[in-house]
Amino acid sequence: MRISLKIWRQANPRDKGRMVDYKLDEVSEDSSFLEMLDLLNEHLHEQGEEPVAFDSDCREGICGQCGVVINGEAHGPERTTTCQLHMRSFRDGDEIIIEPWRADAFPVIKDLCVDRGALDRIVAAGGYISANTGSAPDAHATPVPKENADRAFMAAECIGCGACVAACPNASGMLFMGAKITHLGELPQGQPERDARVLKMTEQHDLEGFGGCTNLGECTRACPKGIPLNVISQMNRDLLRTGFSV
């Protein structure tokens, strides 16, 4: 395949950044999107130009480290992570525009790499069950109805890639947060801290500069793991339950 690329290049967080054009021949349609970028980088290296910085690690669609906006869509045209997108999703001669995740809460570090530390800080604020090591009761002591366990699992599939934020016109992190709140809230173990969790996490979310949810649904459309919008409703119900006032 022959493709044309327009890629966001930004030397460092203070640099203004710009789109740069590249051309690539002989791209295998069996290669992944990131392997196509590897190929580009080998060519850039030969020409003495600094390779494009982008994040990836497991390249199996589970670690959540990769993620770029491709032709305006987070992770590109398929419902998957960037590393699991393959070039067979494009056509010979296509032009592909590649940009980093854009959100105030995700500052650009370089080229296509952004800082998603805000997501960790939301979890640190309360996205856990407090269980010190070594004092847990037998795992069978608390049965969990299968439907709750399944729903918890569905929400726990979130890989924290941040596509929901990148896709949202408000750059809201609520799908990410709702997934965690739903995961833990569906389990009996998660009940004691349920109110405190939703309050502390939403407070941190707003402090980090994420926007609010206006139910557009772009987040769930972009989510590579198919986290449904109703995790946000559950989060809102939990928030109301606490009696918090806006």
Partner 1 sequence: MTDTLIAGLYREGEPIADTKAPAGDIAAKWSTRQFEAALVNPANRRKLSVIIVGTGLAGAAAAATMGEAGYRVKAFCYQDSPRRAHSIAAQGGINAAKNYKGDGDSVHRLFYDTVKGGDYRSRETNVYRLAEVSADIIDQCVAQGVPFAREYGGLLDNRSFGGVQVSRTFYARGQTGQQLLIGAYQALERQIGAGSVEMFARHEMMELIVVDDGSGPRARGIVARDLITGEIETHLADAVVLASGGYGNVFFLSTNAMGSNTTAIWRAHRKGAYFGNPCYTQIHPTCIPQSGDHQSKLTLMSESLRNDGRIWVPKNAADCDKDPREIPEEARDYYLERIYPGFGNLVPRDIASRQAKNMCDEGRGVGPEVDGSRRGVYLDFADAIGRLGEDAVRSKYGNLFDMYERITGENPYQVPMRIYPAVHYTMGGLWVDYDLQSTIPGLFVTGEANFSDHGANRLGASALMQGLADGYFVLPNTIRDYLSKGPFGPLGEDHPQVREAQDSVRSRIHRIMSMNGTRSVDSYHKALGKIMWEKCGMERTDEGLREAVEQIRALRADFWTNVRVLGTAEGLNQSLEKAGRVADFLELGELMCIDALHRRESCGGHFRAESQTEDGEALRHDDEFAYVAAWEWGGDGEAPVLHKEDLVYEFIELKQRSYK
Which parts of 148-207 interact with partner 1 (CB under 8 A)?
149, 152-153, 156-157, 159-160, 183-184, 187, 189-190
Backbone angles phi, psi at 160, to 5 degrees: 65, 35
- Residue 203, Ramachandran bin (φ over 0: left; ψ between -120 and 50: alpha; else beta): alpha
Binds partner 1 (CB under 8 A): choice among 2, 4, 42, 196: 42
Binds partner 1 (CB under 8 A): choice among 2, 11, 20, 77: 11
Residue 162 belongs to what H/E stretch? Answer: none
Q: Which is nearer to partner 1, 149 or 240 (CB)?
A: 149
Residues 76-115 that bind partner 1 (CB under 8 A): 78, 80, 84, 86, 88, 109-110, 113, 115
Q: Which is nearer to partner 1, 139 or 246 (CB)?
A: 139
User: Least distance to partner 1 from the beta carbon of 133, Å?
Assistant: 4
Which among 236, 91, 125, 104 is positioned nearest to 172, based on CA atoms? 104
DSSP-derived 3-state class of residue 193? coil
Q: Which is nearer to partner 1, 42 or 95 (CB)?
A: 42
232: which 2 tokens?
């946000």
Binds partner 1 (CB under 8 A): choice among 125, 165, 177, 235: 125
User: Least distance to partner 1 from the beta carbon of 214, Å?
Assistant: 27
Q: Which is nearer to partner 1, 134 or 169 (CB)?
A: 134
Instruction: Give CA separation, 151 vs 68, 148, 204, in Å.
Output: 29, 5, 25
Binds partner 1 (CB under 8 A): choice among 4, 20, 77, 124: 124
Binds partner 1 (CB under 8 A): choice among 19, 23, 72, 129: 129
Binds partner 1 (CB under 8 A): choice among 16, 25, 30, 169: 30
CB-neighbour burial class of residue 56 (10 A; exposed 0-12, middle 13-18, buried 19+): buried
Q: Give the number of residues in contact with partner 1, rule: CB under 8 A.
A: 77
Which among 117, 113, 108 is positioned nearest to 13, based on CA atoms? 108
Residue 90 DSSP label: S
User: Least distance to partner 1 from the beta carbon of 216, Å?
Assistant: 26
The C-alpha atoms of residue 22 and residue 233 are separated, in whole angstroms, by: 43
Binds partner 1 (CB under 8 A): choice among 142, 206, 214, 241: 142
Please, are residues 24 and 46 in contact by the beta-carbon 8 Å criterion?
Answer: no
